[in-house]
């Protein structure tokens, strides 16, 4: 009888496909699967303290390296803990393969202990879910999970009952699919039509997203030839901000610079590789061309005049040959000037930072950006860290800035940092964490980080508040409620958990504390910075409803007697005016 069982077959195939790590927690249904992983030796098991932390770490590794990464959770509750991370993988396009423990076949569909129907449960997260119920079906399920994750760039699930995992495997061949072949260029007729519209337009604006990752040169060339200002999404920031002198910042509630106006002032708007979801920041009357290799993105956020299916880089390379250079820089120069004006304004709390108490998050973030390496890997929590990172982290060709930008889960920055630190041990890893996010998920797994001795800096924006929601509630006209959250000294907690803990309460200490944290290579650091909980940003465009909501919220707070708090908030934000 073959000693090679179904689980052995699965790890062989996963290792062959490039999987180097599996993040997760063991449990009864998974015991034969993990025993097989141990014997296999090609895949490292990363025992985390929470499965969700493991999936976020896997997402980061998969996104940074391009390789598939495995995660696992045991039947029922262990599997349930994977789901938020897998939803993040789906939205962020991370090829992560979940090995989900499943109940034995004898109790399937009997409401057995820890039984969970994998098809229903993973439906919204997984691009493919296969349940391995027989050894002679295993190859097809495992192969489809790998192929789908690699070619469609997203999570898949292999649901594996412990009894099937132990069965003798049926031998077979397995070939890893070749992906990332020649990127698709748009049809010639579409390129000609694009060129005609661009040549006719006087004021062209580009709005660039993550789809411009491999098209930086082409976007810069297009912007140069058409004298176009280039706005970018948060996911586009890391590729675009430094690659063209025509960059004019961002739009949306994180908006700064001339992007919002440049988009609305244009005769022709070019949406390149972006799927920007905040439709109230997009124009309705501007002629628009959208280029995206995903046809599902075309026209779904706003009405467009021409939708072009194709890779941005490949399509622009062809398009450039058809364009007549524009010489009128009026539109571009106006929005560049506006952007420069914004940059000066945004420096206010950076310059005042060393003397402003409580510590301003703008000053903290700008200090981190100034002192970090040019190839540092940054991870940003959903929450106000997004506001500060979008404005104060400087991009370079080698830096990366990642987060749960399209799924928008809290608490991703620390686990993303862990996955990055394991994958790139020599590089500086800096996670900008909300105190709510950090204490939600990351604190327990700080022990894991410490046990692995990874070089990872977890900066905590300690505002004792779920501040992003505090701001949202005010924008919607509510009195902030359920957002306050007293914290212990998180540096002391970190020290007790085996990490280096540094607490900062004085603005004058920020520079040296950041420098010390970044220089520390002997394990994880928690830099617990007590920041101003009332710090606000002013978006470049404030929708009417937002302004009205804020006014209403202020009025309600006045009537409920919160005047001292309001005066304090107003004083702390005067520099934004």
Ligand X SMILES: Cc1ncc(C[n+]2csc(CCOP(=O)(O)OP(=O)(O)O)c2C)c(N)n1
Rg of the chain taking only CA atoms, in angstroms: 25
Q: Which two tokens stand for residue 31?
A: 């015991």
Distances in Å between the Cα of 438 and the Cα atoms of 367, 385, 431, 435 are 21, 12, 10, 5
Contact between 410 and ligand X by CB under 6 A: the answer reads yes
Q: Which is nearer to ligand X, 210 or 435 (CB)?
A: 435
Contact between 435 and ligand X by CB under 6 A: the answer reads yes
Nearest to 386 by CA among 514, 511, 472, 445: 472
Task: Give which of ligand X, Mg ion, none residue 458 binds (C-beta under 5 to 8 Å, depending on kind).
Answer: none
Binding ligand X (rule: CB under 6 A), the pick from 465, 490, 513, 527 is 465
Contact between 463 and ligand X by CB under 6 A: the answer reads yes
Instruction: Map the footprint of ligand X across residues 10-49, applying CB under 6 A.
Output: none
Binding Mg ion (rule: CB under 5 A), the pick from 167, 292, 311, 435 is 435
Binding Mg ion (rule: CB under 5 A), the pick from 95, 434, 507, 539 is 434
Contact between 382 and ligand X by CB under 6 A: the answer reads yes
Question: Smallest distance from the beta carbon of 458 to ligand X, in angstroms?
Answer: 12
Contact between 474 and ligand X by CB under 6 A: the answer reads no
Q: What is the residue-wise DSSP string for 441-498?
A: IIHHHHHHHHHHT---EEEEEE-SB-HHHHHHHHHTTPPP-S-B-----HHHHHHHTT
Q: Which is nearer to ligand X, 312 or 387 (CB)?
A: 387
Question: Smallest distance from the beta carbon of 576 to ligand X, in angstroms?
Answer: 17
Q: Which is nearer to ligand X, 84 or 428 (CB)?
A: 84
Binding ligand X (rule: CB under 6 A), the pick from 437, 480, 524, 549 is 437
Q: Given the rule CB under 5 A, which of 146-154, 280-288, 426-434, 535-543 is the region that contacts Mg ion?
A: 426-434
Question: Smallest distance from the beta carbon of 338 to ligand X, in angstroms?
Answer: 28
Separation between Cα atoms, residue 1 and residue 346, nearest integer Å: 70
Contact between 102 and Mg ion by CB under 5 A: the answer reads no
Q: Which is nearer to ligand X, 9 or 458 (CB)?
A: 458
**Three-class SS state of 72:** strand
Q: Which is nearer to ligand X, 419 or 436 (CB)?
A: 436
**Three-class SS state of 316:** helix
Exposure string for 567-577, b = 16+ CB within 10 A, e = fewer: eebeebbebee
Contact between 381 and Mg ion by CB under 5 A: the answer reads no
Q: Which two tokens stand for residue 448?
A: 């894991």
Task: Return the residue nearest ligand X (CB atom).
Answer: 434
Contact between 384 and ligand X by CB under 6 A: the answer reads yes
Nearest to 414 by CA among 354, 460, 373, 374: 460
Q: How many residues bind ligand X (CB under 6 A)?
A: 19
Contact between 385 and Mg ion by CB under 5 A: the answer reads no
**Cβ pair 76, 116 in contact under 8 A:** yes
Nearest to 186 by CA among 25, 20, 316: 316
CB contact set of 84 (below 8 Å; sequence gap of 6+):
52, 55, 409
554, HSE (Cβ side, Cα atoms, 13 Å): 11
Q: Which is nearer to ligand X, 292 or 467 (CB)?
A: 467
Task: Give which of ligand X, Mg ion, none residue 304 binds (C-beta under 5 to 8 Å, depending on kind).
Answer: none
Q: Which two tokens stand for residue 413?
A: 């920055």
**Three-class SS state of 45:** strand
Contact between 313 and ligand X by CB under 6 A: the answer reads no
Binding ligand X (rule: CB under 6 A), the pick from 252, 307, 385, 507 is 385
Q: What is the residue-wise DSSP string for 281-292?
A: GS-SSSEEEEEE
55, HSE (Cβ side, Cα atoms, 13 Å): 34
Instruction: Map the footprint of Mg ion across residues 456-475, applying CB under 5 A.
Output: 463, 465, 467
Question: Smallest distance from the beta carbon of 465 to ligand X, in angstroms?
Answer: 5
Binding ligand X (rule: CB under 6 A), the pick from 88, 92, 190, 467 is 467
Contact between 533 and Mg ion by CB under 5 A: the answer reads no
CA–centroid distance for 205 within its chain: 25
Binding ligand X (rule: CB under 6 A), the pick from 434, 501, 507, 539 is 434
Q: Which is nearer to ligand X, 419 or 437 (CB)?
A: 437
Q: How many residues bind Mg ion (CB under 5 A)?
A: 6
Burial tier of 465 (Cβ tally within 10 Å: 0-12, 13-18, 19+): buried
Place of tokens 């119920």: 133
Q: Which is nearer to Mg ion, 157 or 457 (CB)?
A: 457
Q: Would you tell me which residues interact with ligand X (CB under 6 A)?
A: 381-385, 408-410, 434-437, 461, 463, 465-469
Q: Which residues of this chain interact with Mg ion, rule CB under 5 A?
A: 434-436, 463, 465, 467
């Amino acid at each position: 009888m073959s000693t090679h069982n179904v689980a052995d077959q699965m790890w062989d195939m996963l290792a062959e496909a490039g999987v180097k790590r599996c993040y997760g927690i063991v449990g009864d249904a998974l015991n034969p699967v993990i025993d097989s992983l141990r014997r296999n030796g090609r895949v490292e098991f990363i025992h985390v303290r929470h499965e969700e932390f493991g999936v976020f770490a896997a997402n980061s590794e998969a996104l940074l390296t391009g390789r598939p990464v495995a995660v696992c959770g045991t039947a029922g509750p262990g599997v349930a803990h994977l789901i938020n991370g897998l939803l993040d993988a789906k939205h962020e396009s991370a090829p992560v393969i979940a090995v989900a423990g499943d109940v034995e076949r004898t109790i399937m569909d009997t409401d057995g202990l820890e039984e969970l129907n994998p098809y229903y449960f993973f439906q919204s997260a997984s691009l493919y879910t296969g349940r391995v119920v027989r050894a002679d079906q295993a190859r097809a399920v495992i192969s489809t999970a790998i192929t789908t994750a690699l070619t469609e760039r997203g999570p898949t699930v292999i649901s594996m009952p412990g009894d099937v995992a132990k069965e003798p495997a049926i031998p077979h061949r397995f070939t890893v699919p070749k992906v990332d072949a020649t990127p698709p260029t748009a049809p010639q007729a579409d390129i000609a039509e694009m060129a005609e519209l661009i040549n006719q337009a006087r004021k062209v604006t580009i709005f660039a997203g993550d789809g411009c990752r491999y098209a930086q040169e082409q976007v810069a060339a297009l912007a140069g030839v058409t004298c176009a200002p280039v706005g970018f999404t948060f996911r586009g920031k890391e590729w675009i901000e430094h690659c063209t002198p025509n960059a004019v910042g961002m739009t949306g509630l994180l908006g700064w610079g001339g992007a919002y106006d440049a988009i609305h002032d244009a005769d022709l708007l070019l949406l390149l590789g972006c799927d920007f979801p905040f439709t109230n920041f997009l124009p309705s009357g501007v002629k628009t061309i959208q280029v995206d290799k995903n046809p599902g993105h075309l026209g779904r956020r706003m009405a467009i005049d021409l939708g072009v299916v194709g890779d941005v880089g490949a399509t622009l390379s062809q398009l450039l040959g058809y364009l007549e250079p524009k010489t009128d820089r009026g539109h571009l120069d106006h929005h560049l000037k506006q952007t420069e004006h914004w940059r000066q304004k945004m420096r206010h709390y950076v310059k005042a930072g060393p003397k402003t108490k409580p510590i301003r998050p703008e000053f903290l973030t700008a200090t981190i950006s100034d002192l970090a390496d040019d190839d540092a890997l940054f991870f940003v929590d959903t929450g106000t860290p997004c506001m500060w990172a979008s404005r104060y982290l400087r991009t370079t060709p080698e830096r990366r800035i990642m987060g749960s930008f399209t799924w928008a889960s809290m608490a991703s920055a620390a686990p993303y940092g862990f996955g990055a630190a394991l994958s790139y041990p020599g590089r500086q890893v800096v996670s900008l964490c909300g105190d709510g996010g950090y204490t939600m998920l990351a604190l327990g797994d700080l022990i894991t980080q410490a046990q692995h001795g990874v070089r990872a800096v977890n900066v905590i924006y300690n505002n004792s508040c779920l501040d992003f929601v505090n701001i949202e509630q005010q924008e919607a006209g509510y009195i902030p409620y359920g957002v306050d959250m007293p914290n212990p000294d998180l540096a002391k907690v970190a020290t007790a958990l085996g990490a280096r803990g540094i607490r900062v309460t004085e603005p004058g200490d920020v520079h040296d504390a950041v420098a010390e944290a970044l220089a520390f290579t002997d394990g994880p650091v928690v830099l617990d910075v007590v920041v101003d909980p009332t710090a606000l940003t002013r978006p470049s465009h404030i929708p009417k409803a937002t302004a009205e909501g804020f006014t209403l919220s202020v009025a309600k707070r006045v009537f409920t007697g919160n005047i001292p708090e309001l005066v304090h908030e107003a004083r702390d934000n005067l520099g934004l005016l």
